[in-house]
Amino acid sequence: MSAGTAARTPRLKRELLAEASVIALAETFRVLGDTTRVRMLDALSRAELCVCDLAELLGLSESAVSHQLRLLRGMRLVRPRRDGRLVYYALDDQHIVGLFAQGLEQVEERASRRAASRESRVAR
């Protein structure tokens, strides 16, 4: 370990995330690591939808959609709104939209770099 690193270590250790924040963040990313839930959150970022609409839109059973919504509600990523017998779902706050936008930007940039790299190899 270099002298500079040793001097910075105590300060950095104090600045690291608290254990509760680490656990909560990891759990959020775990929930977002499922393609079905990502598709559901994408749809809900565009419109408030009921279970039957989500099921039809995504080609899933209503039971499967309800199960996933239960997980998303537990993480406070979506919120319900009752209208008579139907319950409509929407994103709980706009932070998830920003997270999606940043993630999508990263994915698209990576894909663009890979495509450019492939093109340069083919051109050689």
What SS3 class is residue 82? strand
Query: 68 and 115, same structural domain?
Result: no
The structural domain count of the chain equals: 2
How many angstroms separate the CA atoms of 121 and 124, rounded? Answer: 5
Domain that holds residue 107: 94-124
For the stretch 70-121, pLDDT in tens is 999 999 999 999 999 999 999 998 888 888 889 889 999 998 888 888 777 7
Query: 103 and 60, same structural domain?
Result: no
Query: 66 and 30, same structural domain?
Result: yes
At residue 51's C-alpha, the angle toward residues 47 and 55, to 5°, is 90
- As a whole number of angstroms, the longest Cα–Cα distance in the chain is 67
pLDDT number for residue 23:
93
**Which pair of structure tokens corresponds to residue 110?**
């990576």
Query: 82 and 99, same structural domain?
Result: no
Band (pLDDT 50/70/90 cuts) for residue 34 is very high
Q: What is the pTM of this model?
A: 0.78
Query: 62 and 106, same structural domain?
Result: no
Query: 20 and 64, same structural domain?
Result: yes
Instruction: Indicate which CATH number applies to the domain containing 79.
Output: 1.10.10.10
